[in-house]
Amino acid sequence: MTDETIFEHQADHGPLVYVRQVSPETLIAEGAMPEGSVVPKGVKLYAVHLANGQRIAVMDDRERAFAAAVQNDLTPVSVH
Q: What's residue 42's pLDDT?
A: 87
pLDDT digits (tens, 9 = 90+) for 41-75: 888 999 999 999 999 999 999 999 999 999 999 99
Task: Name which of 3-7, 33-37, 41-45, 59-63 the model is least confident about.
Answer: 3-7
Q: What's residue 58's pLDDT?
A: 96
Q: What's residue 12's pLDDT?
A: 62
8 Å CB contact between 31 and 49? no
CB contact burial 15-26 (16+ within 10 A = b; e otherwise)? ebbbbbebebee
Q: Which domain does 11 fall in, by range? A: 3-78
Per the structure, how many domains does the chain have?
1
Q: Summarize the confidence of residues 20-29 as an average pLDDT.
A: 93
Closest CA to 21 of 74, 71, 63: 63
Q: Is the pLDDT of residue 7 over 80?
A: no
